[in-house]
């Protein structure tokens, strides 16, 4: 880079592709700061196929405004904090503070590697009650060792000046003082910058979803350890807890049936009604005759013959593939065992 084109500084941005993180980047570009954006992915829905603010495609804004995006999967590190978050969960199974700390630690490593000057996020003070209140923002700075190096451009005027502001790299007056859950100022800024491709606000993270969190709590309670395959299966089908060792997963449509078939293991029970519209059901745990019969009754409830007095269910996982003729389970009974 020639001296005439040299930027005033270089920052690493935590970039989800949502409106707030995009605006934080644009506020830096406006002040002639080079931006390297870091987009994180996890097993909990923060991926590029999701149009929520957590997992929207980061590239349109990057291509339009000219900054680089690096992708990083947090993998087992993120799973570890789900199992035992130091700072606890939010309303559901979302360990927002531990998550933010992990992302910032990874961003700090990149900052040091490329010799960038500071890190930015799209956080807005008061927007999220668990993680975006003033004392929690300060906590994260202290734990990560980023005091003075962590800038929240959208709320900067409400927080202490960072090193980049104090040394003149950034003009504090050109930063924002937004707080709360409203989006009026963000939308106004988007119009000023010509940013017109951004998603509606949403978490995008499955850990904030109540139904998924119920299943995840159940899995932790009964297995104690999370695997990537277990986590992926939590997304699929209807889940029923038969006993402390046994769970039944029932596909809801052809796509989920195919996914369950792909996850099937030799020691799983597999029950299905052959010749009629039927879900694939997997029995994970104790495949006793009693549990297979219960799974058959649950499966019968979701077949096209669910209003018949009995349904023939095939035990596909058994070598001889015997057939159980069972009554469909009753909804009032299922509500006590379904993990919603």
DSSP one-letter code for 201:
P
Domains in the chain, start-ordered, CATH in brackets?
3-205 (3.40.50.620), 236-339 (no CATH)
pLDDT level of residue 42 (50, 70, 90 thresholds): confident
Q: Whole-angstrom Cα distance, residue 149 to residue 151? A: 6
- pLDDT at residue 129, rounded to an integer: 64
Predicted TM-score (pTM) of this structure: 0.86
- pLDDT at residue 1, rounded to an integer: 43
Q: Whole-angstrom Cα distance, residue 148 to residue 112? A: 15
In the three-class reduction of DSSP (H, G, I as helix; E, B as strand; rest coil), residue 314 is classed as: strand
Per-residue pLDDT of 231-279, as tens digits, reads 889 999 999 999 999 999 999 999 999 999 999 999 999 999 999 999 9
Least confident of 59-73, 95-109, 141-155, 232-246: 59-73
Q: Whole-angstrom Cα distance, residue 316 to residue 323? A: 9
The answer to whether the beta carbons of residues 117 and 162 sit under 8 Å apart is: no
Helix H or strand E encompassing 338: strand 338-339
- pLDDT at residue 188, rounded to an integer: 97
Predicted confidence (pLDDT) at residue 230 exceeds the cutoff of 70: yes
- pLDDT at residue 187, rounded to an integer: 95
- pLDDT at residue 200, rounded to an integer: 67
Helix H or strand E encompassing 300: helix 289-301
| Mean per-residue pLDDT over the chain, rounded | 90
pLDDT level of residue 72 (50, 70, 90 thresholds): very high
Q: Whole-angstrom Cα distance, residue 288 to residue 242? A: 11
Q: Whole-angstrom Cα distance, residue 50 to residue 30? A: 28
DSSP one-letter code for 328:
P
Phi, psi (degrees; rounded to nearest 5) at 98? -60, -40
- pLDDT at residue 201, rounded to an integer: 64
* Integer Rg of the chain from CA: 25
Q: Which two tokens stand for residue 126?
A: 């008061």
Predicted confidence (pLDDT) at residue 61 exceeds the cutoff of 60: yes
């Amino acid at each position: 880079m020639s001296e005439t084109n040299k930027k005033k500084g270089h920052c690493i941005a935590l970039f989800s592709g949502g409106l707030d993180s995009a605006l934080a980047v644009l506020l830096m570009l406006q002040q002639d700061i080079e931006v390297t954006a870091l987009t994180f992915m996890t097993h909990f829905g923060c991926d590029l196929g999701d149009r929520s603010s957590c997992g929207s495609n980061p590239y349109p804004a990057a291509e339009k405004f000219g900054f680089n995006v690096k992708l990083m999967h947090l993998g087992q590190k993120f799973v570890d904090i789900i199992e035992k978050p130091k700072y606890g969960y939010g309303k559901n199974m979302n360990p927002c503070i531990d998550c933010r700390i992990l992302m910032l630690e990874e961003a700090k490593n990149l900052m040091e590697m490329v010799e960038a000057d500071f890190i930015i996020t799209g956080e807005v003070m008061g927007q999220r009650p668990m993680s975006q209140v003033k004392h929690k923002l300060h906590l994260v700075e202290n734990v990560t060792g980023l005091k003075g190096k962590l800038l929240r451009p959208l709320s900067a005027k409400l927080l202490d000046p960072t090193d980049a502001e104090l040394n003149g790299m950034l003009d504090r007056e050109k930063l924002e003082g937004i707080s709360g859950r409203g989006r009026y100022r963000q939308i106004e800024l988007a119009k000023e910058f010509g940013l017109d491709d951004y998603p509606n606000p949403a978490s995008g993270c499955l850990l904030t979803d109540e139904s998924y969190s119920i299943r995840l709590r159940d899995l932790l309670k009964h297995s104690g350890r999370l695997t990537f395959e277990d986590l992926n299966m939590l997304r699929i089908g209807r889940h029923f807890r038969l006993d402390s060792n046994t769970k039944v997963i029932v596909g809801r449509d052809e796509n989920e049936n195919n996914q369950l078939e792909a996850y099937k293991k030799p020691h799983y029970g597999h029950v299905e009604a052959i010749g009629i519209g039927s879900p694939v059901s997997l029995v994970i745990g104790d495949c006793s005759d009693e549990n297979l019969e219960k799974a058959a009754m649950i499966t019968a409830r979701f077949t096209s013959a669910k209003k018949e007095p009995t349904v023939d269910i095939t035990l596909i996982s058994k070598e001889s593939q015997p057939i159980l003729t069972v009554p469909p389970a009753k909804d009032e009974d299922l509500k006590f065992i379904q993990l919603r």
